[in-house]
Structure 1
Amino acid sequence: MKKTVDFYNLAWRWHFYAGLFVAPFMILLAFTGIIYLFKPQLDVLMYRDLLEVQPAAQVLSADEQLARLHQALPQAAVSKYLPPATAESSAQFVASLDGRETNLFVNPYSGELLGSQDAHYNLQAIARALHGELMIGTVGDRLIELAAGWGIVLVVSGVYLWWPRGRGKRGVLVPNREQRGRGWWRELHAVTGFWGAALLLFMLLSGMTWTGYWGESFADVWNRFPAAMWNDVPKSDVQARSLNEAHRQTVPWAMENTPMPVSGAHAEHAGHMAGGSMAAPQIGLQQVVDIARERGVTPGYSISLPKGEEGVFTVSVFADDPRNDATLHVDQYSGKVLADVRWKDYGLVARSVETGVMLHEGKMFGLANQLLMLAVCLMILFSAASGLWLWWLRKPAGRLGVPPLPHALPVWKVGLGIVVLLGIAFPLVGASLLLVWGFDWLVLSRLASGRQAFD
């Protein structure tokens, strides 16, 4: 019995540490996740005048739409074009305007500029940037990754604390309604956490694939395409992940670590440029649209314009159904398709990740998927808030209220194995675990025994 109590107290202590660090992040991620989850509905509600148009007989070509845009805003430097997804949809251009990235909406039938939107500071862009990197770049990305990793520690330790150990179903599968006060809150917290544990693990792991450190390393190890796919393609040192930003997703995860091809690496173009007198003409934007249509790319795709003389047009759709994913790189001079990557080219890991991400974002099965993920977000909010409330109720005045460290610490092989595996699988989490363990053992435990500063 003593051994079990020691393990329980140790698990409770680490559950406390994990919860105190993770809870604020989980609350933020749940709120921003709900906003992004209902992006389709919120966008129409908030920006209907920008997104919807009245269909007419004739659609202007993409080049004509671009020309009309330049007539209205000559200073706009366009970097991306999103053709209308339906007959009632507007066309969208992304451009640098007065030093800011701006979304510009154009009526594809008349060429009229419908309006603009700051690409970084609209509701969905802010929610996505907060969700991914707290809007503070690399530091925020690493913090989110740490929070997700510690969230796994939280779930594992929480399940151990919840484990029945001979109790009946009350307090295990359903709350024990005989409890009152703090005990009742503990019942709600534990039971809610149990029912949501598997889904929370899914959310944490699927979200981790987008992180800048672990996610990139994971992709480099597991996300591989046959080398022959790129044998005849002139490649740059730039990866496709350069097209993705915190506030905007352009290419699928499966494509992030693939090289960007190079335009103009053909004999006729090289000879033309040898004299240095003039650059070869670019293909038109409409020609890229025609290529996408001929190759059956699902509507809703974007076209990233070439960056520099060697850049390519990139047609990409990050589809709600990942089986419709497509990424095409097109030579800006000849119109040759340098790469065309689809679901059939993805490996098992890439397919699993893409499917997980679409489920995570509530896009794969329509409203049913959205409502399921909403339930998960609400569960996360309740678990985080109730955990903080339980801590506040038991916290002694003027003290942090850390659960007591057991005097005897026998080696729990299963628990130690889980910790080691987590540390190896998620290096940032492993490093932070060692730091927290060292601080706990060297400082907090000694303060607690010497001064009773922590409970």
Structure 2
Amino acid sequence: MASYSDSAAPARGRATPSFYNLAWRWHFYAGLFVIPFMILLSITGIIYLFKPQLDAWMYADLMQVPVAEQRLSADQQMAIVREAYPQAVVSKYLPPAAQDRSAQFVVNQDGQELNLFVDPYSGSILGTQDALWNLQAVARKLHGDLLIGTVGDRLIELAAGWGIVLVVSGLYLWWPRGSSGAGVLWPRLNARGRLWWRDLHAVTGFWGSALLLFMLLTGMTWTGYWGAQFAGAWNHFPAAMWDDVPKSGQLTGSLNSSSQQTVAWAVEVTPLPASDPHAAHQGHAGHQAATAPVSLLQHVVDTATERGVEPGYSISLPRGEQGVYTVALFASDPRNDATLHFDQYSGAVLADVRWKDYGLVAKAVESGVMIHEGRMFGLVNQLLMAAVCLLILFSSVSGLVLWWKRRPAGGFGVPPLRHDLPRWKTAIGVMVVLGVIFPLVGASLLLVWALDWLLGLWRRQSAASAPSA
């Protein structure tokens, strides 16, 4: 956010040293690690922000259909897909979100996951799309795990945590010290060279710091380690909701993947129910025995409609003999969120989780995530978050420019640390708190501190042993 400037640096002969040098070194280390990730996250974030517009433009032939009088049932559409792809395993069905939109099936064919688009009126298959290697899926996976799974997720989490360190240390570096106005609240546009870049970097960073922290913190809730711990600590539902429901031993969050969001964050830690193979024999007329369950897809659609689930939801099909149908609406307005689980044999609703069941923290996080993704307030929200992404890109690029302009020959350009530097209690306390709240950041802070101390020790020993001229 801010950068080291000669005017703010402590004079070498000053008797009372300053904490500024140490803050700048931490800011430098954070930037050195974070900048590549921030550039990637900003670019992929902009792509995902405008998913509705990009999808409608790129895949209009797959998504839009002429409206007719009679729509085929979900079961009839399923039969058409299975006839066309007899060897494929259908994992998900997305009913048309509007009258002029196609239906979508997600299938696995010979190890490849495909999105199949079906005209719900004529039953014709409009085309297919690689579910894992289309623009939005790739952007989402890069944004979530760098296409390398758990290791990538941890790196993203570490980068977001260090991004918070970057903002906090940048605010300290920016904080006015006997000056105000030009160079603090607005850039000195008549400046040249490094001072001009420093002003733009610091001032834009200050004005955008609250939005930067918002983006980083809401993004952290989706990370695999800290996000999972946070969800486990704050997402609590009445246990009675599942008292009489058989459980699979899995969590509802198992329906999510890095390339596709299925269920809302608030319900990820809820139990995933299990279907009862004997339910068809327990008074649920109209369905066959458990050994030969009929398709209940249209029944699930009808029940979702009866229960007021808004269009735009997906239906995950049962996995295995104990799997369930799951209706999931991860709504742009989280007050419309819905997660329903159905027994695959009886069609009975096993669980129905809505906004009213969320706790206060879950409601705050879900609202924050929707703003983060640009979905809650339409185009205005998209443009605001795109502006934040551009701000992050500018801060990253200007930080690189500042480093390039001040780097010494043959070095990284880390400012020397005065070894008589006193401990600055407030700043040290802030760093400790951040390290405790974000354990991966805390562990990396200790590692970097140890490496920095060892490097300084090696330099002092080298200087002491060097022959004098």
TM-score computed with the length of structure 2 as normaliser: 0.93
* Structure 1 residue 69 displacement after superposition: 1.4
CA distance in 2, matches of 1:79, 1:289: 16
Alpha-carbon offset, residue 266 of structure 1: 5.3
- The answer for the alignment partner of 1:214 in structure 2 is 226
Tell me what 1:111 maps to: 123
Distance (whole Å) between structure 2 residues aligned to residue 418 and residue 210 of structure 1: 24
- Using the alignment, how far apart are the partners of 1:442 and 1:219 within structure 2? 38
Structure 1 match to 2:308: 296
Work out whether 1:37 is the aligned partner of 2:49: yes
**Alpha-carbon distance in structure 2 between the residues aligned to 1:322 and 1:449:** 60
TM-superposed deviation, 1:76: 2.0
For the 8 Å contact 1:234–1:265, the answer to whether it is kept is no
Report the Cα distance in structure 2 between the residues aligned to 1:25 and 1:310, rounded to whole angstroms. 41
Amino-acid identity (%):
69
Cα drift, residue 397 of structure 1? 1.6
1:168 aligns with 2:166: no
Q: Note the 1:270-285 alignment, pairs <5 A.
A: 279-285=291-297
Which of 373, 381, 389 aligns to 2:401? It is: 389
What's the offset of the Cα at 1:268?
A: 5.6
* Correspondence 1:75 to 2:87: yes
Distance 1:328 1:158 in 2: 45
Partner of 1:367: 379
Change (3 A) 1:120 1:11: same
Q: Secondary structure at the match of 1:290?
A: helix
Q: Distance in 1 between matches of 2:418 and 2:335?
A: 52
Structure 2 partner of 1:9: 21
Task: Give the CA deviation at 1:195.
Answer: 0.8
Are the counterparts in 2 of residues 264 and 270 from structure 1 also a CA contact under 8 Å?
no
Q: Separation in 2 of the partners of 1:148 and 1:447?
A: 31
- CA, structure 1 residues 444+91, in 2 after alignment: closer, same or farther (shift >3 Å)? farther
Alpha-carbon separation, structure 2, partners of 1:436 and 1:112? 59
1:404 aligns with 2:398: no
| Structure 2 gap segments, 5+ residues each | 1-9, 465-469
For residues 325 and 278 of structure 1, the distance between their equivalents in structure 2, rounded to whole angstroms, comes to 31
- What secondary structure sits across from 1:6 in the alignment? coil
Note the alpha carbon deviations across 1:61-108, whole angstroms, 9 max, x for none: 001011111222222210000000000100000000121111000000
CA contact (8 A) 1:6 1:408 kept: no
Displacement of 1:450 in angstroms is: 3.3
When residues 176 and 109 of structure 1 are mapped into structure 2, their CA distance, relative to the original with a 3 A threshold, is: same
Per the TM alignment, residue 181 of structure 1 is displaced from its structure 2 partner at its CA by: 0.4
* C-alpha RMSD over aligned residues: 1.8
Residue 406 (structure 1) shift: 1.8
- Report what 2:337 is aligned to: 325
Say yes or no: does 1:18 pair with 2:10: no
Deviation at 1:446, TM superposition (A): 3.2
Distance 2:290 2:24 in 1: 71
SS for the counterpart of 2:318 is: coil
Q: 120-129 or 402-411: which moved more? A: 402-411
- In structure 2, give the amino acid aligned to 1:408: D
Q: CA deviation at 1:177?
A: 2.4
For 2:18, what is the secondary structure of its paired residue?
helix
Aligned pairs, number: 448
Structure 1 equivalent of residue 254 of structure 2: 242
Equivalent residue in structure 2 for 1:146, among 140, 158, 172: 158
Distance 1:152 1:449 in 2: 34
- Counterpart amino acid of 1:440? D
Does residue 352 in structure 1 map to residue 364 in structure 2? yes
Q: Which amino acid aligns with 2:407?
A: K
Q: After TM superposition, give the deviation of residue 416 of structure 1 in Å.
A: 1.2
Deviation string for 1:405-437 (max 9, x for gaps)? 122121211111111111110001100000000
Once the 2 structures are TM-superposed, how far is the Cα of residue 283 of structure 1 from its aligned partner? 4.4
Shift of 1:280: 4.6
61-70 or 354-363, larger mean C-alpha shift:
61-70
Cα deviation, residue 154, structure 1: 0.2
